[in-house]
Amino acid sequence: MSQLSEQQCEACRADAPKVTEQQAQELRQQIPDWEQVEEEGVPQLRRAFTFADFAAALAFTNQVGQLAEEQGHHPAILLEYGKVTVRWWTHKIKGLHRNDFIMAARTDQLNAGS
């Protein structure tokens, strides 16, 4: 299996299968800094990134936004001074899909380049 960060998101339908708990555990091994949380009953992947200042946090936010647009898969992003919190989940299935793990891994790559 190729690294998550090298994979592309696939178009997701409302009837797409959610990842199983076992699949989620295996996929989380490739994104150890992300935590699985539940917001309003919906499982999501969440990670907070820290930066030296607001400008650096904003630049990262813009990179995540550009990546999201390119892949057609959009997260929740909270921008604060020196901190950006990103949450990935698939809205159509109200849960986690493989796409969310791919995007988390690709978000990690953006941060590595900061």
Is it the case that residue 112 has pLDDT exceeding 80? no
Q: What is the pLDDT of residues 61-85, one digit of tens each?
A: 999 999 999 988 999 999 999 999 9
Asked whether the predicted pLDDT for residue 37 surpasses 70, the reply is: yes
Q: Where are the domains of the chain?
A: 19-112
Higher pLDDT, 65 or 15: 65
pTM of the model as a whole: 0.90
Question: What confidence score (pLDDT) does residue 7 get?
Answer: 67
Angle at 106 between CA 101 and CA 111, to 5 degrees: 125
The CATH code that applies to domain 19-112 is 3.30.1360.20
Q: DSSP letter at 76?
A: E
CA angle at 80 for the pair 45 and 90, rounded to the nearest 5°: 25
Answer whether 61's CB lies under 8 Å from 84's CB. yes
| Mean pLDDT to the nearest integer, 25-48 | 96
Q: What is the mean predicted confidence (pLDDT) over 78-100? A: 95
